[in-house]
Amino acid sequence: MVRKLFSPRWILVHLGVSLLIFTMVNLGFWQLRRLDEKRALNKAVATRSELPVVTLTAANATSLQEWQRVSVTGTYLFDKAVTIINRSTNGAAGYDSAVPLHTTFGATILVNRGFVPLATANPAPPEGELSVVGYVRPTQSRGALGAIDSTDPNTTEFQRFDIPLIMKHVGDAPFPLYIQLLKESPNPNQELPAHIALPEPSEGPHLSYAAQWFFFSATALTAWVVVVRRKLRESSNDDLVPSETSA
């Protein structure tokens, strides 16, 4: 009776259900890990963005944390400006305007001046020396499925803030961070680029997605148990039916 549940066909069924449940449980825990990451990000943004503004120097660059505010003085190199494409703000498609800033301490730093809608020319930054205040951001790297940027030094459009790659276009040594602009002084009074807001502090749908995956896995397990029990009952009933033999 039980032996029938270990036929080649049933073994494939058991393996398939086990793999399905294993996959869904892992997807549930993956969503929980993403929830933890989102909570950590929210805490970091809330805490670090309220710290006092630090004057950026070559000496303290590597000790700064993402989302800390820094100030730096320098001159924009608009002829070396690039755009970070495939961006959106409030449902509008566009790009981020990234302009190198040659600082008074000798380094050249990328500044994300903000969002510009499609079909709008990259706005020129103020000329001459000025002070910039913004958030510290690290270089961005391509994910497993991310679009590939061109390595041509003449390229001016990029998919992400890949500092080493962009600085090949600029023709200067890569600085270990870029700045997401908050304000410039003197104030240029420009509507564009539009400042980029801090990440939303919401936790997103990760908890509900995790609950769904755990529910699906429990449903699959329950269905498997029901089918196996039904098969066992059928086999048991078959065993109880007397064989047709002559008296």
pLDDT at 5: 65
* Judgement on whether residues 131 and 231 belong to the same structural domain of the protein: no
* Judgement on whether residues 175 and 227 belong to the same structural domain of the protein: no
Quick: pLDDT tens for 224-242. Answer: 888 888 877 776 665 555 5
Phi first, then psi, for residue 30 (nearest 5°) are -60, -40
Q: Is residue 14 part of a domain?
A: no
pLDDT at 241: 54
Q: Report how many domains make up the chain.
A: 2
When the pLDDT of each residue in the chain is averaged and rounded to a whole number, the result is 88
Q: Is residue 96 part of a domain?
A: yes
* Judgement on whether residues 110 and 222 belong to the same structural domain of the protein: no
Quick: pLDDT tens for 24-65. Answer: 999 999 999 999 999 999 999 999 999 999 999 988 988 999
Domain hosting residue 227, numbered range: 25-48+202-236
* Judgement on whether residues 92 and 136 belong to the same structural domain of the protein: yes
Alpha helices in the chain (DSSP H): 8-48, 163-170, 206-240
Q: Is residue 245 part of a domain?
A: no
Q: Is residue 221 part of a domain?
A: yes
Q: What separation in angstroms does the CA of 18 have from each of 3, 39, 181, 221? A: 19, 32, 51, 8
Q: Name residues whose C-beta falls within 8 Å of residue 50's C-beta, 6 or more positions apart in sequence.
A: none
One-letter identity of residue 101: L
| HSE-CB of 116 using CA atoms within 13 angstroms | 21
pLDDT at 246: 45
Burial 126-150 (b: 16+ CB within 10 A, else e): beeebebbbbbbebbeeeeeeeebe
Task: Respond yes or no on whether the N-terminal peptide bond of residue 205 is cis (omega within 30° of 0).
Answer: no
70 neighbors 175 (Cβ within 8 angstroms): no
Least-confidence region, from 51-55, 105-109, 167-171, 217-221: 167-171
pLDDT at 97: 96
Q: Residue 180 sits in a domain of what CATH number?
A: 2.40.50
Q: Is residue 17 part of a domain?
A: no
* Judgement on whether residues 61 and 154 belong to the same structural domain of the protein: yes
Rounded-to-integer distance, Cα 46 and Cα 193, Å:
24
* Judgement on whether residues 54 and 37 belong to the same structural domain of the protein: no
